[in-house]
Each structure stands twice: as structure tokens, then as C-alpha cells.
Amino acid sequence: MVDDLKNAISEQRVILFAGAGVSATLGAPTWGELIDHIGTELGYEPEVFRALSTNYLTLAEYYKLERGTIGPLRSWMDKGWNFEDSKIQGSAVHRLIAELSFPKIYTTNYDSNIERAFELAGKNVRKIVDVRDFLSVEQSDHQVIKLHGDFDSDESIVLTETDYFNRLSFESPLDIRLRSDVLANPVLFIGYSLSDINVRMLLHRLWEMWDSSAHQAHKPDSYIFLPRPNPIEERVLQKWGVKTIVGDDPDPMKSLEKFLEKLCD
């Protein structure tokens, strides 16, 4: 399975999907830390604020309703999620992603660390936040397509419950491009929690599109890397036609790093 994936990567056919686990390798704040910061800004003790709702998206929605904007919060996130060049250069995961030279990377991360890793490796890269950005893409550019927005644009950021509900419609111009890309190319998901409704919805939609097609046998492969074994998730993903590759290190970050190193061998 890994050999097939390596061959497809060498042929520049694989689209990478990079989730929060990629940023976590740099030490980026977790969602829990973000929610604690939101609660503190609003005058709550973190544990009290968390107890008000089990849904972090609802708590983020409350912040936006109370403040009318996510501007100050976005500034804090920008500082916490974007890292200095030396830190990015020291991240084996980011270095290996750039070395593997994926032509297109879709990400739900807001930060610019992946783009910067490509720049530091001397490779052309283009950040795509909205449909206008496609107009300036050069043939040699590696595209980093920001499905949940970017810190350069408050209005692009998907953070609140309403934002996520709107996002799950998968009807934006970026989603049209996304559907076209995943229908024609193998895809690899890394750094995602399988509790993430976005990735589960996308995998299900992809399976659904091919399942209703008379050409199901021609469906490109879909892969997801799991840092640890999870037989229940693996069985469900198998039903959706997704091939799971399981890591062999108890440390999830080291597990991802070793997997990417295998792809580079």
C-alpha cells in the first residue's frame, strides 16, 4: 500500500490534506487552549467557561456575538500559530512535506507554516484563500489551499458554529475546485483527528460520489495516516473506500514524522 502511494507521489499525482496535527508538531496551541483564552478574554475562569458547553464551536460563536468581531482573537491566534523560520526549518514534518513536493495541499489550518516551509526549501508556492487567488497561479507553483481561511483575512476564518455549518455545505468556489481535484487524483490525509466532522464529511462525500457512479472501479485511491491503531475507525473508513496507514510510534508526532520519512525513501 505504501509503495503505491510513494509511486503516485513521485508522479506528482497525490493531493495532500493537512490538519491540525501538522501544526501541533511545531507546538501550536490546541483547541482547548484557544477556548481557555476566549473564556479569559470574556472574564471567565477557563474551567467555568468550558463547562458552559461541550461544543467548542458554540463557545467561539458566543465570543463573536459578544465582541462583534474575531479581530483581537485572530491577532492572538496569528502570534500563537505562526512560527519563526528557525522553528519551521527545525520541524522534520514541515521539511518532509516540502521535500515530497505535493503539487496541491488542502488544509484546514489557518497558519502559514506550510507555505513558509516550501519557500524556505526554495520552491514556488501560492496561497489560495478565495477564488481570486487562482487567477495568479503559475504552472510551477505549489498550491496551499486554505479551506478554513487564513490569518490575513478575518472574514475568511472558519471558527464559530455558524461558520462550520456554512462550511459543511461544500458549495463555495474552493469546494468546486476541491471536488474536481479529489475525483481525479489520489488523496492523502495527515494530521487529522477522526472526530473532526469536516474530514469525516469530506471522506463520506467522496465515497458517495463514486458509489453512485457507474465508473466506481476507476476511483483514485484515498489514504489516511493514523498515528495509532484504531480497528473501529479503520473498519468504517474501509467501508468508505479509504485505505488506512497506521504508524508505529507511541508518540503521534514522531509517528507522523517516521511515516513521511518512509515516503521520502
pLDDT of 179-218, one tens digit each? Answer: 888 888 999 999 987 777 777 777 777 777 777 776 777 7
Task: Tell me the sheet residues that pair with 190.
Answer: 18
Q: Which amino acid, residue 204?
A: H
Write down all domains in the chain, each with its CATH number in brackets: 2-27+87-264 (3.40.50.1220), 31-81 (no CATH)
93-113: per-residue pLDDT in tens?
999 999 999 999 999 999 999
Strand order in the sheet with 15-18: 125-128, 142-146, 104-107, 15-18, 187-190, 222-226, 242-246
47-89: per-residue pLDDT in tens?
999 999 988 999 999 999 999 988 889 889 998 999 999 999 9
The pTM of this model reads: 0.91
In this structure, what C-alpha cell is assigned to residue 262? 518512509
pLDDT-above-90 percentage for the chain: 55
CA distance 176 to 163: 18
Task: Tell me the sheet residues that pair with 125.
Answer: 142
131-155: per-residue pLDDT in tens?
888 888 888 899 999 999 999 888 8
CA distance 203 to 214: 19
**β-strands 187-190, 142-146 pairing:** unpaired
